[in-house]
Amino acid sequence: MLRAMIVEDNAVYRFAIRTIIDWGQCGFEPPVEAVNGKQALSCLAESPVDLIVTDISMPEMNGIELIQQVKRIAPDTEIVVLSSYDDFPFVRNALKLGAADYLLKHDLEPENLVLAVMQAKEKLEERSKASVRDPGPERVRQWLYQLLTRSVTLEEAERQAEAALLPHRRSAFVMLSAVVRETESPEGHASTAAPDFGQLDPSWLVISLGRGRYAVYLDFKDEKSEARMLAAAYEAAEGISRAAGRSGAGCRIGISRAGFGVKTIEALHKQAEAAVFRSVYDEEEDGRIYSAPGDRPYRDTVLAGSYPSLAKALKNGEIEACEALADRLFRDMRVVKPPEGELRKLLLDLFALLVAAASDQGAELAPMDHWQGWVTDSLARLSPLERIREAVLERIRSVCAGSARERPEIKQAKSYIMKHLDEELNVADLSRRLDLSPNYLSILFRQQTGQRLSEFIQQCRMEEAKRLLRETTLKVYETASKVGYKDTSYFCKVFKEYAGMTVSDYRGSTQPVSGFQAESFYLLINRNSGMALDVDSDSLAEGAGIIQWHQHGEANQCWMFVPAGGDAYKLVNRRSGLLLGVDRGSAEGGAGLVQEADGGRASQRWRIMKSGSYYKLVNAGSGLLADVNGGDKTPCARIIQWKDTMGANQQWDIVKMR
């Protein structure tokens, strides 16, 4: 039987739609239910349906947004829209997006709903028959796109392939990954030109993955010789490369090993992507073709050892030592050739050092959020490592120059302020202690820091107040006193202006949450991207990175909350049985989250804090928050720990799995 879903926030209407007709008589199982578009997508990730009956006006995600999402991830789903709006713009938008029918609630009769459902059923059955007769290249390409972007689960992709009798379910094949170089227009706009794939065998399919990236499925049907398949794949890659060169769309291409059947398509695509990623270690040169790397596991035995020495040199402003250490680090990277995930981590750790040093030295440098996005974007575009090295050296010089510029009087002033926040602080008192005139100190401080002295004092007091409200049970008047405010009312007013919320709201948003059910599993869905906390590549290995990925509700996205003493929890992954932790137990901002065996470390315990209608995950070891790197909304974005920015990329919806 076919499967249906009712999406409606009004319980009365949900009940009416469920009971007004005999769903079994219409050829459907009893429909599942959701109260808004967001919950509907979560249910669809777990179990796709054939028909959706949805309201238009709903909280969090309305019907129009739901139709857009559904038609992107499952375009063959039939949709019937119900609404109280007798309004043509709603009708037009819903039908334009692909809704099959549109019914008004106040005119709804059983026979009208039955007619709409039966018409949808006829379309589904006709489409199924057509797919069996001839799935067609566009349908196969859509199927491959959904599989490669993980819009459907592997099990669902196999079911679809069997239902449509796709020959690819039992074909031998090789995957190519082609990455087209971005070009810049005279107006300064970056763009990519698609290479000419026209010379390929018509049975070989090209799937555009966006931003100049293409997957090419080379179908070899019943071929048994891997050597012949790889030779033909290399010849196809050379043809694409030559055509791209002629059209000015220079590209680099990676080739996977040979595989067989649906189960290996995604893995071989990752092999091809890993192959083409090796181009970052070469000089910028288009037309190169890269074979799949071997299975030798990556071991960081050299690179991480450079960081302590570099941190020390940055702290001391030793520019020549910093440049030499950075050069050696990048030289070692080119020799070791870390895979993409490891290289991203190494570069983010490097920029975290630079940002921390800039903050300590009062030098100007963009915040870590900027560099997280910059590194991710550079690696996605396969920017040569040499170009990244030049950017790092430029920032090292900037930080060291900033260190040299800051005068000792300013360092002394900052140090004194931080140690005496609970006392009266003003320009006259500070100037006497530093043996400077008040006017000269004010001018010098602003020149060196870009802030007025009074602004810096208030900033330090408010940040310390936030820490005390988060980490202690001090009363409000006690907190005010510890940061230099005798008048509690005035403190509360200043705090609200600074933090954008009242003292009580801030403290309430940082209080731990309890009540998670034992032996139950939960999805953690990021507010910013709508994607779920996921173990990279469904790995069972210790040290596997944590990423965000489309919600599918499989075991690698399910987490159990196990009490770990006090108000903390251990988050245990359902597939691997390993704990959510911080790489190497680091307390540094930008450190990646990983899964690891229980070592009893504080970095493996998490406090769940309420943040409006969402939650924050605060690491008990570092006090930092689980954060989607750079606020990225794309799949595979790395999850790191970072200071509280009040951003949506640090807020999570926690959904109990059935």
List pLDDT tens digits, range 446-479: 876 767 888 899 989 998 998 888 778 889 999 9
In the beta sheet, which residues pair with residue 592?
640
pLDDT, one tens digit per residue, over 490-516 is 999 998 888 777 888 777 665 555 667
Q: pLDDT value at position 196?
A: 60
Does residue 364 register a pLDDT over 70? Answer: yes
Q: How would residue 188 be classed by pLDDT, with cut points 50, 70 and 90?
A: very low
Q: What is the pLDDT of residue 605?
A: 92
**According to the model, what pLDDT value does residue 169 have?**
67
Identify the pLDDT of residue 21. Answer: 86
Tell me the pLDDT tens digit for each residue of 280-312: 888 766 678 888 876 555 555 456 667 778 887
DSSP one-letter code for 545: B
Spell out a b/e string for 331-346, using b for 16 or more CB atoms within 10 Å of the CB, else e.
eebeebebebbbbbbb
Q: pLDDT tens digits, residue range 45-92?
A: 777 888 999 888 888 888 888 888 887 777 788 888 887 655 556 666
Could you tell me the CA-to-CA distances from 651 to 550, 631, 647 in Å, in that order?
A: 16, 11, 7
Vertex 60 angle, CA 54 and 64, to 5° = 40
CA 510 to CA 466: how far, in whole Å?
Answer: 10
Q: How confident is the model at residue 619 (pLDDT cuts 50, 70, 90)?
A: very high
pLDDT at position 270 = 92
Distance CA 608, CA 591 (A): 19
Output Rg (C-alpha) for the chain, integer angstroms.
29
pLDDT tens for 125-144 read 777 665 544 456 777 777 88
When mean pLDDT is compared over 24-28, 101-105, 398-402, 467-471, the highest value belongs to: 24-28
Predicted pLDDT at 638: 92
Residue 186's pLDDT is what?
38
d(CA 294, CA 365): 39
Q: Which of 115-124, 168-177, 476-485 has the highest mean pLDDT?
A: 476-485
- Give pLDDT, residue 623: 87
- Cβ-based neighbour number of residue 453 at 10 Å: 24
Q: Is the pLDDT of residue 405 over 60?
A: no
Q: Which residue has the higher pLDDT, 552 or 419?
A: 419
On the question of pLDDT at 18 being above 70, the answer is: yes
User: Given pLDDT bands bounded at 50, 70 and 90, which one contains residue 435?
Assistant: confident
Contacts of 317 (CB under 8 A, 6+ apart): 361, 400, 403, 404
Region 197-205 average pLDDT: 69
Mean pLDDT, the chain, as a whole number? 82
Angle between helices 453-471 and 488-499 (to 10 degrees): 100
pLDDT of residue 639: 95
pTM over 0.75: no
Q: What is the mean pLDDT of residues 35-43?
A: 87
What pLDDT shows up at residue 658? 63
Higher-pLDDT residue of 113 and 212 is 113
Phi, psi at 109, each rounded to 5°? -120, 150
Terminal alpha carbon distance of the chain: 22
* Mean local confidence (pLDDT), 27-37: 90
> If you average pLDDT over residues 182-186, what whole number do you get?
48
pLDDT tier, 124 (very low <50, low <70, confident <90, very high otherwise): confident
Which has the minimum average pLDDT: 58-67, 264-273, 356-365, 583-592?
A: 356-365
Distance CA(623)–CA(607), nearest Å, equals 9
For residues 272 and 138, the model is more confident at 272
Domains along the chain? 4-133 (3.40.50.2300), 137-291 (3.30.70), 303-386 (no CATH), 408-509 (1.10.10.60), 522-656 (2.80.10.50)
Task: pLDDT band for 489, please (50, 70, 90 cuts).
Answer: very high
C-beta separation of 34 from 43 below 8 A: yes
Mean pLDDT is lowest, of 29-38, 179-188, 230-239, for 179-188
Q: How confident is the model at residue 520 (pLDDT cuts 50, 70, 90)?
A: confident
d(CA 491, CA 473): 17
Query: Per-residue pLDDT for 421 more than 80?
Result: yes
Q: What sign does the CA torsion over 209, 52, 164, 134 have?
A: negative
> Per residue in 314-332, pLDDT tens?
877 778 888 888 888 888 8
Nearest to 563 by CA among 625, 614, 513: 513
- Residues 6 or more apart whose CB falls under 8 angstroms from that of 58 comprise 7, 8, 9, 35, 36, 37
57/63 Cα distance (integer angstroms): 6
- Higher pLDDT residue, 588 or 626? 626
pLDDT digits (tens, 9 = 90+) for 588-597: 888 999 999 9
